[in-house]
Amino acid sequence: MARYVGPVCKLCRREGMKLYLKGERCYSEKCAYTRRPYPPGQHGQGRIKLSEYAVRLREKQKVRRIYGVLESQFHGYFQEASRRKGRTGEEMLALLERRLDNVVHRLGYAASRSEARQLVRHGHVKVNGKRLDIPSFVVRVGDRVDLTEGAKKFKFVAAAVAGADKRPIASWLDADRGAFSGSVKSTPVREDLNEPEIREQLVVEYYSR
């Protein structure tokens, strides 16, 4: 499957904000956006006035990069959300939040979504007692998510749990970090999805043009 393998710090600089794509590094002074808070490239420090289309495009790209999904996947989430009752933007974010790789990250067992995706793809995550290696699997209310015995011994998992207090805790999840497990208490709450800041209405307007 195609995926982005370039320098992810450039993505933060391009979007003009921290997307927290590299885990603990994003909270340190080594963060590339902290040192160079302007877009990459020869003309990055010049004044750039974005058109209305460009503002909506950048917001769409930002959300897509935060969750690490391809364009076709992301558009699929939008289409699914548009068929549901409720606000399309909030329904789309709820679908993205309930991806298994994102849930593992939100529970604090991976410092970034890319780390969480690797845990899932390598079969180190169980949902309701069964191993699942599909990062895009959408969990439901009542589902239980656990790490395997082998994953509990990984150094990067221990480091992620130790630094989990730096990251916001999702109120719709219940985490037992001592047992490396957690459960889905409710559907995602919009108020929990503001780090980094997301303006989902611009994404809806982009796809509705």
CATH no. for 97-190: 3.10.290.10
**For residue 145, what are the CA distances in angstroms to 37, 137, 149?**
37, 12, 13
pLDDT tens figures, 59-84: 898 888 888 899 999 999 999 999 99
Please report where in the chains the tokens 């589902």 appear, as a residue: 143
Q: Which of 96, 14, 22 is nearest to 59 (CA)?
A: 14
On the 0-12 / 13-18 / 19+ scale of CB atoms within 10 A, 115 is: buried
Task: Report the alpha-carbon distance of residue 68 to residue 31 in Å, rounded.
Answer: 19
SS3 assignment, position 20: coil
Return the percentage of the chain with pLDDT > 70, whole number.
76
Rounded Cα–Cα distance for residues 25 and 125 (Å):
24
Exposure letters 1-36 (e unless 16+ CB within 10 A, then b): eeeeeeebbbbbbbbeebbbbbbbbbbeeebbbeee
For residues 145 and 103, give the distance between their C-alpha atoms in angstroms, rounded to a whole number: 8
Tens digit of each residue's pLDDT (9 = 90 or more) over 114-150: 889 999 999 999 999 999 999 999 999 999 999 999 9
> Which pLDDT belongs to residue 198?
86
Q: Which residues pair with 182 in a beta bridge?
A: 145, 175
What ranges do the domains of the chain cover?
Answer: 97-190
